Amino acid sequence: MKHPPQIEELVERLSKLPGLGRKSATRLALHLLRSPEDEVSALAAALMAVKERIRFCSVCHDYTDQDPCPRCSDPKRDRGSICVVESPADLMVIEASGIYHGLYHVLGGVLNPLAGIGPDELNIQDLVARVDALAKTDSQVRELILATGSSPEAEATCSYIVTQLGGRDLRVTRLARGLPSGMDLEFVDGQTLRQALEFRGEAR
Amino acid sequence: MKHPPQIEELVERLSKLPGLGRKSATRLALHLLRSPEDEVSALAAALMAVKERIRFCSVCHDYTDQDPCPRCSDPKRDRGSICVVESPADLMVIEASGIYHGLYHVLGGVLNPLAGIGPDELNIQDLVARVDALAKTDSQVRELILATGSSPEAEATCSYIVTQLGGRDLRVTRLARGLPSGMDLEFVDGQTLRQALEFRGEAR
């Protein structure tokens, strides 16, 4: 015999979330049934709030509840540097590291012709226009850091952006390829090793 | 710099759920931001529905949206057998196995004096009253199956129930203790082995 339809529905909804199978969705549903009603209401309200209030920033295309986003409006950020990332999730990772204090530009993905994702599906022309607009102001962009992943599609996207920005007076860099921290050499694949050699620097 | 407060709030709420750390809560929040609005609304509605509509069955104390629950009202279930479980989650596991077709009684936990859980905090007197009430009708209980876990607290709870039911005309059984399926003998602990010997049956 089935459980009450409300529990079935909640388990069904939860098990559609990434990383949750039916078993963990059931465990979560039972936990929520045991939780105080105000906690569950607060979770439901938080879900609705992100969908109702969160939009994309018209400048950097990150998620925001005000446009332009607080980061784009922050006078303390280094306005001479734009870090180009694939997604808001990647932006979060870089922000969490606390290493970077410039601006961002979210592409919204990488070029993938087989999946029907061409330049028009990404925020690339918008990036070029942003660089050109800033060139006419006091806050010219000195450096564009291409902080995409290292998949072939991401590499192709970087090449495309470099082509689009050709002839402009700014430095375009990308993240180093090399050994991940804490990795034993015996477990490194050939491509990573090749790139680690290519990007090698002075030993200190 | 922080993310928009709505995203922070959702991550905060999600990371309070069991089995979800801050990292997986963030991943879930970003997934929900990318999901269609109607899917997220449906999840929020499902959360509210379980809290608004789900109550405990006054007979078996399982979760239900109608009282008595469909299982307690089902004439096709074997009314001569009551399976006593600790929680609705345990009931779900037994139901999912498809092996048992009788009635249930949810205790709501096990005796744990150190945590302040005595007989009055559990549905034990209610179980005795249920058995006694049925003894006066056509649908007398033949067997009570104590399907609790095998922790010391659960064992003590079973003993207490046996005492409470003393002198009544019904069989009280408990789940066999023994080797879990697929277990190599070398990995079995002493207590399990002792009980597997005690519960031994004829080889077939």
What average pLDDT does the segment A126-132 reach?
96
Whether chain A has a CB inside 8 Å of the CB on B86: the answer is no
| Residues on chain B touching A6 (C-beta within 8 angstroms) | 46, 49-50, 53-54, 65
Tell me, yes or no, whether A108 and A168 share the same domain. yes
Give the residue, A91 or B198, on which the prediction is more confident.
A91
Tell me, yes or no, whether A80 and A48 share the same domain. no
The CATH number given to whatever domain includes residue A44 is 1.10.8.420
3-state secondary structure A141-160: CCEEEECCCCCHHHHHHHHH
Whether chain B has a CB inside 8 Å of the CB on A47: the answer is yes
Whether chain A has a CB inside 8 Å of the CB on B93: the answer is no
What average pLDDT does the segment A116-120 reach?
95
Tell me, yes or no, whether A29 and A82 share the same domain. no
Tell me, yes or no, whether B23 and B99 share the same domain. no
Tell me, yes or no, whether B103 and B183 share the same domain. yes
CB pairs under 8 A between A and B: 146
Q: How many alpha carbons lie under 13 Å from residue A198 in its C-beta half-sphere? A: 10
State the best of A6, A74, A85 to mutate against chain B, taking most chain B CBs within 10 Å.
A6
**Residues 185-204, chain A, touching B (beta carbon < 8 A):** none
The reply to whether B62 falls in a domain is: no
DSSP state of B71: H
The CATH number given to whatever domain includes residue B102 is 3.40.1360.10
Whether chain A has a CB inside 8 Å of the CB on B64: the answer is yes
Q: Which of B31, B44, B92 lies closest to A26 in CB terms? A: B92
Tell me, yes or no, whether A39 and A86 share the same domain. no
- Is pLDDT at B143 greater than 90 in this prediction? yes
Tell me, yes or no, whether A94 and A155 share the same domain. yes
The label of the residue with tokens 């734009």 reads A82
What average pLDDT does the segment A161-166 reach?
92
State the best of A15, A30, A51 to mutate against chain B, taking most chain B CBs within 10 Å.
A51
* pLDDT for residue B202: 76
Q: Which of A42, A43, A50 lies closest to B6 in CB terms? A: A50
Task: Write down the H helix ranges in chain B.
Answer: 5-14, 22-34, 37-53, 70-73, 88-97, 125-135, 152-164, 190-198
* pLDDT for residue A17: 94
| Residues on chain A touching B55 (C-beta within 8 angstroms) | none
What's the mean per-residue pLDDT of chain A?
91
The reply to whether B68 falls in a domain is: no
The number of domains in chain A is: 2
The reply to whether B179 falls in a domain is: yes
Q: What is the rounded distance in angstroms from the CA atom of residue B63 to the CA atom of residue A7? A: 9
Tell me, yes or no, whether B47 and B85 share the same domain. no
The reply to whether B69 falls in a domain is: no
The reply to whether A137 falls in a domain is: yes
Q: How many alpha carbons lie under 13 Å from residue B127 in its C-beta half-sphere? A: 33
Q: Which of A7, A63, A65 lies closest to B63 in CB terms? A: A7
Q: Which of A7, A46, A71 lies closest to B50 in CB terms? A: A7
- Is pLDDT at B1 greater than 60 in this prediction? no
What's the mean per-residue pLDDT of chain B?
91
Q: Could you give the percent of chain B with pLDDT greater than 70? A: 99
Contact A102, A80 (CB under 8 A): yes
* pLDDT for residue B68: 94
| Residues on chain B touching A23 (C-beta within 8 angstroms) | none
The reply to whether A18 falls in a domain is: yes
* pLDDT for residue A184: 82
* pLDDT for residue B85: 95
Q: How far is B190 from chain A (nearest CA, A)?
A: 30
- Is pLDDT at A59 greater than 70 in this prediction? yes
> Over the stretch B155-196, which tens digit does the pLDDT of each residue have?
999 999 999 998 898 999 988 888 888 888 788 888 888 888
> Over the stretch B42-87, which tens digit does the pLDDT of each residue have?
999 999 999 999 999 999 999 999 999 999 999 999 999 999 999 9
Tell me, yes or no, whether B117 and B156 share the same domain. yes
Could you tell me the residue range of the domain that residue B25 belongs to?
5-53
The reply to whether A65 falls in a domain is: no
Do the Cβ atoms of B63 and A31 come within 8 Å? Answer: no
User: Residue B5's closest chain A neighbor by CA?
Assistant: A65
What number of residues does chain A have?
204
The reply to whether B120 falls in a domain is: yes
> Over the stretch A71-100, which tens digit does the pLDDT of each residue have?
999 999 999 999 999 999 999 888 888 889
Whether chain B has a CB inside 8 Å of the CB on A89: the answer is yes
* pLDDT for residue B116: 94
Tell me, yes or no, whether A81 and A9 share the same domain. no
Tell me, yes or no, whether B140 and B102 share the same domain. yes
Q: Would you say the C-alpha torsion A145, A149, A150, A153 has a positive or negative sign? A: negative
Q: Which of A47, A87, A95 lies closest to B40 in CB terms? A: A47
User: Going by DSSP bridges, is the β-strand pair A63-64/A55-56 parallel, antiparallel, or unpaired?
Assistant: antiparallel
Long-range contacts formed by A181-187: CB under 8 A, 24+ apart? none
- Is pLDDT at A202 greater than 80 in this prediction? no
